[in-house]
Structure 1
Amino acid sequence: MPNIKSAIKRVRTNESKNAQNSHVKSAMRSSVKKADTALTNKEENASDSVKVAIQQVEKAASKGLIHKNTAARKKSRLMKLQA
């Protein structure tokens, strides 16, 4: 446990940022997986789930949670499955 006041605050902020980042990353993974299963099962709402997944991937990339090339690769794979 840190003794310095700024270090104590840094621990608190890191915990809250970690929780937020984990939430966004988890939501992204879930939406990508949902879109992938929708496309493989040829469901009628597959295009909507792909659209949501791409939005989540772009959001994670803009926040720096994943690299921009990783985001591009994920989007490309989804679009390839959709075509």
Structure 2
Amino acid sequence: MANIKSQKKRNLTNEKARQRNNAFKSELKSVIRTVNTAVASSDKEAAVTALATASRKLDKAVSKGVIHQNNAANRKSAISKKVNAL
């Protein structure tokens, strides 16, 4: 544990950011899982709406700095391929 006051404050903000990022990543996984289950059940309408939601969430994660831009692009590409294959 740090002795310096500013570092103690920084540790607190880092922990808040870590928890926020983990929650956001968990939400991303859930949204992508929704797309995959819609594709597995071959429900085109649900898959398209879930894909739009997932794309929006992935873009938001990039803008917030939670994931890298290329990571989001790869995930969006993978799920859109699955949806377009329906």
Question: Does the TM-score normalized on the shorter chain lie above 0.5?
Answer: yes
Q: What CA RMSD, in Å, does the superposition of the two structures yield over aligned residues?
A: 1.2
**Range that drifts further, 13-22 or 55-64:** 55-64
Overall identity of the aligned pairs, in %: 39
Misfit runs of 4+, over 6 Å: none
Q: Which residue is 1:20 aligned to?
A: 20
Runs (5+) with no aligned partner, structure 1: none
Give the CA deviation at 1:9.
0.2
Write the distance in 1 (CA, Å) between the matches of 2:12 and 2:71. 30
TM-score, scaled to structure 2: 0.86
Write the distance in 2 (CA, Å) between the matches of 1:77 and 1:26. 18
Q: Which residue is 1:7 aligned to?
A: 7
Write the distance in 1 (CA, Å) between the matches of 2:70 and 2:78. 12
Cα displacement string for residues 40-69 of structure 1 (whole angstroms, at most 9, x for unaligned residues): 211242211111111111111222222211
Give the CA deviation at 1:38.
0.9
TM-score, scaled to structure 1: 0.89
